Amino acid sequence: MGTSAGKAMSPIGVMGGTFDPIHFGHLRLAEDMADALGLERVLFIPAGQPPHRDAPRTAAGHRLEMVRRAIGGNPRFVADAREVQRPQPSYTVDTLTALRAELGQTQPLWLLLGADAFLGLAGWHDWRRLFELANIAVATRPGAQLLQPGAIIEPLKSEVTQRQVVSCNPPGQPAGAILLRTTPLLDISATAIRGMLARHDSARYLLPDAVLDYIHEYQLYARI
């Protein structure tokens, strides 16, 4: 009888963000990538202290709980509290380093990003190491030409030209590849949701009811 020693490992997705609040745009992107990449699970990792942007308006514990409520019922989605529990700023490279240490060097990891986040990658801390730690899957809008001249600038352009860039049949390698995935992104903004809630407008159908109920229970965005 054969063994499973040579069996390919199922890939794992990593989706970070402030999630202030988490909404259907986040969830739809993760679901689409999970199907396209055959992800065993997607780790939703709320940022504790994001160093590259203003501090979230909402306490980390609330944002983590909103994630937990949003993904309830989806067996592929997992809330990961490691950045919330970290006293230092939440650098993605540190999170991926920790995951790589836990999961081993052969585990395929996919960092899930929207196009805007990907194009700003060169501003992230120790960003070149991200390609050594994970593959990167980028969600683009239909018709968008992410790699057309002028769309991507140095130094990210030089890094991308060294990588395997695919639009289908994602490789099974642990790290280093870039996948451009055209997906019908939902044009939903956490900033807009916070503004609506502060004005006491309805935000129903922009985020899960369980999250909306939690927001109302704790009056998280009663004013901004």
DSSP codes of every residue in 70-100: HHTT-TTEEE--TTTT-SS---HHHHHHHHH
| 176 C-beta neighbours (distance < 10 Å), count | 16
CATH number of the structural domain spanning residue 79: 3.40.50.620
**Using an 8 Å Cβ cutoff, are 13 and 43 in contact?**
yes
Q: Which strands form 12-17's sheet, in the order they lie side by side?
A: 77-79, 41-46, 12-17, 109-114, 135-140, 178-182, 165-166
Question: 87 burial class (0-12, 13-18, 19+ CB within 10 angstroms)?
Answer: exposed
In a domain, 5, yes or no: no
In a domain, 215, yes or no: no
In a domain, 23, yes or no: yes
3-state secondary structure of 28: helix
Question: Average model confidence (pLDDT) for the chain?
Answer: 91
pTM of the model: 0.92
Domain count for the chain: 1
In a domain, 49, yes or no: yes
For the segment 44-89, what is each residue's pLDDT rounded down to a tens digit? 999 987 776 667 889 999 999 999 999 999 999 999 999 999 988 8
For the segment 136-171, what is each residue's pLDDT rounded down to a tens digit? 999 998 777 787 777 898 999 999 998 989 888 888
Would you say residue 16 has pLDDT above 90? yes
